[in-house]
């Protein structure tokens, strides 16, 4: 392997900012922040918005997205009325 062409692969703490869930793993991601982990050592910190603790697929909790306005705009744009069929 050539020297100095590969990114540094090290232990990094990822922290889910919405649930305050953290986990330690290895990564090449670059960050300026650090955190003291449970073992008393200091590790680079990467803040993330979604993890297995906050993603709807893993939590089983779905967020309701109101799309009624979009459907009505689509129907109005293409002249589709409720109950009409395309046959």
The confidence band for 50, taking pLDDT boundaries of 50, 70 and 90, is confident
Range of the domain at 46: 10-78
- The single residue listed with the structure tokens 């046959």 is 87
pLDDT at 63 over 80: no
pTM tops 0.75:
no
Report yes or no on 4 lying in a domain.
no
**Residue 84 within any structural domain of the chain:** no
- Gyration radius of the chain's alpha carbons: 23
Q: What angle do CA 27, 49, 45 make, to 5 degrees?
A: 40
Asked whether residue 5 is domain-assigned, the answer is no
Is residue 61 included in any domain, yes or no? Answer: yes
pLDDT at 53: 75
Q: Under a CB-based contact definition with an 8 Å cutoff, are residues 74 and 42 in contact?
A: no
- Give the number of domains in the chain: 1
- Residue 2 inside a domain? The answer is no
| Model pLDDT, residue 36 | 95
Question: Using an 8 Å Cβ cutoff, are 14 and 52 in contact?
Answer: no
Per-residue pLDDT at 44: 95
């Amino acid at each position: 392997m050539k020297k100095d062409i590969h990114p540094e692969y090290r232990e990094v703490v990822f922290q889910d900012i919405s649930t305050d869930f953290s986990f330690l793993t290895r990564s090449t991601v670059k960050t300026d922040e650090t955190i003291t982990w449970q073992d008393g050592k200091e590790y680079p910190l990467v803040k993330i918005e979604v993890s297995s603790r906050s993603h709807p697929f893993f939590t089983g909790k779905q967020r309701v997205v109101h799309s009624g306005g979009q459907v009505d705009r689509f129907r109005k744009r293409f002249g589709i009325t409720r109950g009409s069929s395309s046959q």
